[in-house]
Amino acid sequence: MSGDICPEEFAYAVGRYIYFRYLTREDALGDWHRWFNSPEVTRNLDRQRWINTPDDQVAYWEQLQRSRDRLAVAIVDRVSHKHIGIGSLSGIDVVNRRAEISLVIGSAEHRHGLHALEAVAIDRKSTRLNSSHTDISRMPSSA
C-alpha cells in the first residue's frame, strides 16, 4: 500500500505531527484491519473477540461511505504520510452541537507519543463540526 494515498493538501485537519484525511479502500486493505486483530489495540474495545479480515474491513469502509451519522477519518503521520490510526465522530447531534469521539492509534511506533495526544487536540478544536461539546472517554494506556 502506498503511504501517500492522499496528499496533505486534501486533509480534513492538520496538526504539527499528524493530519486527518478521508479513508480509502487502500487503507482498509492495508494495516487498518491488522490493528483490530491486535490484543494491545483492542483490549479495551468490544471488538477483541472477533477476527478482522481485509474483506471485513472493506465492508466496514463501504458502510462508513454511506453513513450520515458517523464521520470517520484516517490519522496520518505528516512526515511519512503513513496511515497510523482512525478517528471517528459518532452520535452527532447538530441541534445540541455534540458528538462522541473515538481515536485509535493502531501503529505501535506512534501509539505512545505526541501523535496520539495531538489527535485528541486536533479533533477537539476542529471547527468543521462547530461542536461546542465532544465527549471523550480515556482508556488506560499500555504500560
* pLDDT tens, position by position, 41-90: 888 776 566 788 999 999 999 999 998 888 899 999 988 999 999 998 88
CA separation (Å) from 24 to 8, 27, 43? 14, 5, 26
Count CB atoms within 10 A of the CB of residue 31.
17
- Residue 65's φ and ψ, nearest 5 degrees, are -65, -30
Query: Comparing C-alpha atoms, which of 52, 18, 21 is closest to residue 35?
Result: 52
C-alpha cell at 61: 469502509
Top-confidence range, 13-22, 26-35, 38-47, 88-97: 26-35
Total residues belonging to the chain: 143
- Contact 85/118 with Cβ under 8 angstroms? no
87 touches 102 (CB < 8 A): yes
- Determine the pLDDT at residue 54: 93
